[in-house]
A and B are shown apart, each in its own frame.
Chain A
Amino acid sequence: MKIMIRQHFTRWLILAGTVIILFSGMAATAADESSPAPGREMARQATKTKRPGITVDHSRLPALNKPFKSGPEITKACQSCHTEAESQFHQTIHWTWKADDNIRGKAGHSVNNFCISSNKMQDKGCLSCHPGWNKSMESINCLVCHGQKDINWEESFNDLKELSASKDPEEVEIAKELRDNIQAAAQSVGRPERKNCGSCHFYGGGGDGVKHGDLDSSLAKPNKALDVHMGIDGQNFRCTRCHTTKLHSIAGRIYTAPAATHRKSLVEDDLVSKITCESCHTATPHKAGSKPNDHTDKVACQSCHIPTFARVNPTKMSWDWSKAGKLKDGKPFKTVGAYGKEDYLSIKGEMKWEKNIKPEYFWFNGSIDDVTTKDIIDPSKRVAVSRPAGNWNDKNSRIFPFKIHRGSQPYDKVNKTLLAPILSGNEGYWTTLDWPSALSKGQQALGLPFSGEFDFVETSYVFPTTHMVAPRENVVKCSECHTKKDGRLANLAGFYMPGRDRNRWINILGWAAILGSLIGVTIHGLGRVFAARNVKKENK
């Protein structure tokens, strides 16, 4: 019998061994991540073509070989060849600062919780980012976007004006230098580089990284770890690689309009207007059969691939206007806090800066719902000046990461609307520190009423996080969302998520049954041991 048992046992061992080897082989295949994901290969192919070359050497054009005395003169020179550029550009939001509905936009009734409003462009401080010459709406400054040479235009032209009449040989020399410099800058043009777009978009809100947490000066020359696409040691993308342009109209998100209405890939249709992640990487970019592919219908790529934003430079996370106006020794003052950033200014209030921030997540269909200066608010709770539109059961919505900027800003206690003060200029709050005056001037500029009674209301403002895509080693781990407590998606309700959600009663009853069974078999087993002892004793 022993031989038989051994024989069977050997067979059993061989069989079990085979099964375990087969099985672990399968598991190994599942866990293998060394081969590149198909979506990455697709994107590499799609972007393989080099940037198109330029067939014009602008320094040899007669129109640009002139002693320019003012900005608009340069623009005229540009237009002498690019005849349609101005009329094209005048149609775009970059010039009009107005959304299609004519209500939203910096030149419309839009507000935020940073500098609050541009008061229909009457708050002149805001115009430093408007692509015209000398903060005027007169003529386009083509070189904001196309100039490749760093130059302070306003200063250069002013100095030139002062020195051009001079007879002093030294000053004549300086004037010549200025003239040459201006001319060289006018000739040095090309397609927009990261620093062109960045000259406004990195500094939105009045400083580096104030507004967007995923867009600051660190993206002018990022490394791959900060942004796999833009990294100069990576794909070295310019902004325009994804923000495609058609007749000067640049693709991107515009207030309530989604950035991309179709989730098409370039593989399906190479004429998609805005390049999104999916355009190049497809909707199933991960290895075939891998779980992340099952997520792309509900979770935006950005949610996992941008683990944190503001990874190099800090970004402003809150701005409390209600604290503005304090004086020290009768004078306005400022204090510097974390990261060497100002955390209090008499003219602006109290602010918080942070780095390496985990985004907050919302269902997002690409549109943003917002409050304008015309909308009635409920000041009893935090007012969402802007918030993502979307819903868990809408098939066009995805879970998307956001920076939320929280603040406190003035509102009209009688009319129940947000108020837009004038900040810059002699009559602006930054000079007068006088709220009632700044508010009434601001409302006047907008053509809106002001009751005279105001207070501050807590607000929030959202920015979709889409830049600063991290290398894949740094992606958000499954367990950061699929977890019972404090997961990244803990606040999203309405749907069942494995690992996060559980049925309370099944949990209680289930564990009770397991515990009961363990106790039961222990008691039964001990009973048998004692009973066996008793039987032995009796037999003795």
Chain B
Amino acid sequence: MSGINMNLIYLYSRFERFWHWFQSVLIILLLATGFEIYGAWKVLGFRNAVDVHSYTGLTWLIGFAFFVFWIFTTGEWRQYIPTTKKMFEVIRYYIYGIFKGESHPVPKRKDAKHNPLQRLTYLSLAALLLPVQMLTGFLYWSYNSWSGWGISFVPLEAMAVIHMAGAFAIFQFLIIHIYMTTTGHTIFAHIRAMITGWEEVVKEEKVEDWEKAIVKPRPS
């Protein structure tokens, strides 16, 4: 598929790439240590796992604030607006078309880097799952302050259950997400793009208006 009708476009900005990989390191560390605390495996030992988990979690919480700032100041949040247009085509592609060598129904574009399925997934991830995980994690970590904050009526078990459900969901996302990176025109095409910022995409495809992230001119 690569060759004459492929175009190299700069898709992921430096911050975006940094954030992606930084967050991925944090999430993998959190999963590894979190599941150790949960008792799934033994690597660092309980005490070290707890320490690493706490500090990684706090680092993530602080880092996430920068991400939120970035996504709103750059207008990139528009890339996450959910849509059902072409959703069916994308689903059909992954269930059927991909095996027939068809091309992706919604190829990546500078102003439309996510397909409808990604939009939905990443929106629920960035706006719901990750914040809930961070919040429950932070509360879990600050359990000793609960009585001072007047929330000691909340059972710790409830917090633990939500946090664990979230952990399983993120673990599941990680598996599928890593697998999905191999579905580009070469196995490592998507991963390379997330490292360099440059993605090879099919030429001459018209970007539909609904797909475009309208960047409003900023007052100078």
| B37 with A527: CB separation less than 8 A | no
CA distance A5 to B46 in the complex (A): 41
Which of B22, B39, B59, B155 contacts A496, CB < 8 Å? B155
Q: A503-B164, A517-B175 are in contact. Are A483 and B143 (CB under 8 A)?
A: no
Are B168 and A509 neighbours in the complex by a CB distance under 8 Å?
yes
Residues of A contacting B48 in the complex (Cβ-Cβ under 8 angstroms):
31
| Given contacts A8-B197, A532-B101, A502 and B39 within 8 Å (CB-CB) | yes
A524 CA to B45 CA, complexed, in Å: 36
A-chain residues with CB within 8 Å of residue B188 when the two chains form the complex: none
| Cβ B51 vs Cβ A291 within 8 A | yes
Contacts of B21 in A (CB 8 A): 12, 16
Which residues in chain A, 498-520, are within 8 Å of chain B measured between CB atoms?
Answer: 498-499, 501-503, 506-507, 509-511, 513-514, 517-518, 520
State in angstroms the CA–CA spacing of A501 and B196 once bound together.
44
B-facing mask of A16-38, CB < 8 A → 1, else 0? 10011001001100110000000
Chain A nearest Cβ from B166, distance in angstroms: 10
Is the CB–CB distance between B46 and A478 below 8 Å? Answer: yes
- From known contacts A5-B196, A12-B195, A291-B51, infer whether A528 and B99 are also in contact, taking CB-CB under 8 Å: yes
A434 within 8 A of B: no
Q: B64 in the interface, Cβ–Cβ < 8 Å?
A: no
B174-189 interface code vs A (CB 8 A; 1 in, 0 out):
0110010011000000
Contacts of B72-107 to chain A: CB distance below 8 A: 94, 98-101
Closest chain B CB from A287 CB (angstroms): 11
Query: What's the minimum C-beta distance from A505 to chain B, rounded to whole angstroms?
Result: 9
Contacts of B17 in A (CB 8 A): 12
The answer on a CB contact under 8 Å between B101 and A518 is: no
Bound complex: CA A297 to CA B148 (Å): 13
Nearest Cβ on chain A to B203's Cβ, whole angstroms? 16
In the complex, what's the smallest C-beta–C-beta distance from B158 to chain A, in angstroms?
9
**Complex contact B22–A506 (CB within 8 A):** no
The proximity string for A residues 267-296 relative to B, scoring 1 for CB distances below 8 Å and 0 otherwise, is 000000000000000000000000100100
**Chain B residue nearest in CB terms to A480:** B46
User: Is A493 engaged at the interface, CB distance under 8 Å to the other chain?
Assistant: no
A479 touches B46 (CB 8 A): yes
Q: Mark A350-378, 1 if CB is under 8 A from B, else 0.
A: 00000000000000000000000000000
Complex: chain A residue closest to B42, CB-CB: A479
Q: Which B residues are in CB contact (< 8 Å) with A294?
A: 143-144
Indicate if the CB atoms of B22 and A524 lie closer than 8 Å.
no
Instruction: Using CB atoms, name the residue of chain B closest to A16.
Output: B21
Q: Is B126 an interface residue (CB 8 A)?
A: no
Question: In the bound complex, how far is the Cα of B44 from the Cα of A479, in angstroms?
Answer: 11
User: Are B144 and A527 interface neighbours, CB within 8 A?
Assistant: no
Please indicate the chain A residues that have their CB under 8 angstroms from the CB of B41 in the complex. Answer: none
Which residues of A lie under 8 Å from residue B182 when comparing CB positions?
525
Given A521-B175, A531-B99, A535-B101: A484 and B39 within 8 A (CB)? Answer: yes
B35 to chain A, nearest CB (A): 10
**A30 x B52 contact (CB < 8 A):** yes
Could you say which residues of chain B place their CB within 8 Å of the CB of A5? 192, 196, 198
Judging by beta carbons under 8 Å apart, are B39 and A525 in contact?
no
Interface string of B100-129 (1 = CB under 8 A from A): 110000000000000000000000000000
Contacts of B161 in A (CB 8 A): 503, 506
Q: Is the CB of A9 within 8 A of B100?
A: no
Q: B56 to chain A: which residues have CB within 8 Å?
A: 23
How many Å from the CB of B189 to the closest CB on chain A? 12
Beta-carbon contact of A27 and B52 below 8 Å: yes
Select B165's contact among A12, A478, A510, A514, beta carbons within 8 Å. Answer: A510
Whether A488 is near chain B, meaning CB under 8 Å from some CB there, is no
* Chain B hits for A262, CB < 8 A: none
Chain A residues within an 8 Å CB radius of B198? 1, 4-5, 8
Interface string of B33-75 (1 = CB under 8 A from A): 0000111000001111011101110010000000000000000
Q: Which of A271-325 contact B (CB under 8 A)?
A: 291, 294, 297
* Residue B25 CB within 8 A of the other chain: yes
Residues of B within 8 A of A479 (CB): 45-47
Q: How far is the CB of A360 from chain B (nearest CB, A)?
A: 22
Segment 475-499 of A: residues with Cβ below 8 Å from B: 477-479, 482-484, 495-496, 498-499
Instruction: Find the residue from B37, B39, B143, B198 having the highest chain A CB count within 10 A.
Output: B39
Whether A15 is near chain B, meaning CB under 8 Å from some CB there, is yes
B84 to chain A minimum Cβ distance, whole angstroms, is 23
A340 to B163 CA separation, bound complex (whole angstroms): 54
Q: Which residues of B contact A9 (CB under 8 A)?
A: 195-196
Docked CA distance A4–B165 (Å)? 42
B100 contacts A531, C-beta separation under 8 Å:
yes
Interface centre among A479, A501, A528, A532 (most CB of B within 10 A): A479
B205 within 8 A of A: no
B-side contacts of A27, CB under 8 Å? 51-52, 55
| A535 contact set on B, CB distance < 8 A | 100-101
Q: Give A residues with C-beta under 8 Å from B.
A: 1, 4-5, 8-9, 11-12, 15-16, 19-20, 23, 26-27, 30-31, 291, 294, 297, 477-479, 482-484, 495-496, 498-499, 501-503, 506-507, 509-511, 513-514, 517-518, 520-521, 524-525, 527-528, 531-532, 535
With A31-B48, A496-B157, A524-B179 known, 16 other A-B pairs at CB within 8 A are A8-B195, A8-B196, A11-B14, A23-B55, A27-B55, A482-B37, A498-B37, A499-B38, A502-B39, A503-B161, A510-B167, A510-B171, A513-B168, A521-B176, A528-B98, A531-B100
The 7 closest A-B pairs by CB, nearest first: A510-B168, A531-B99, A521-B179, A496-B157, A479-B46, A30-B51, A478-B47
Can you report 19 residue pairs joining A to B where beta carbons are below 8 Å apart? A8-B197, A9-B195, A23-B59, A30-B52, A30-B55, A291-B54, A297-B144, A478-B46, A479-B47, A483-B39, A496-B157, A506-B164, A510-B167, A513-B168, A517-B172, A520-B176, A525-B182, A527-B99, A535-B101
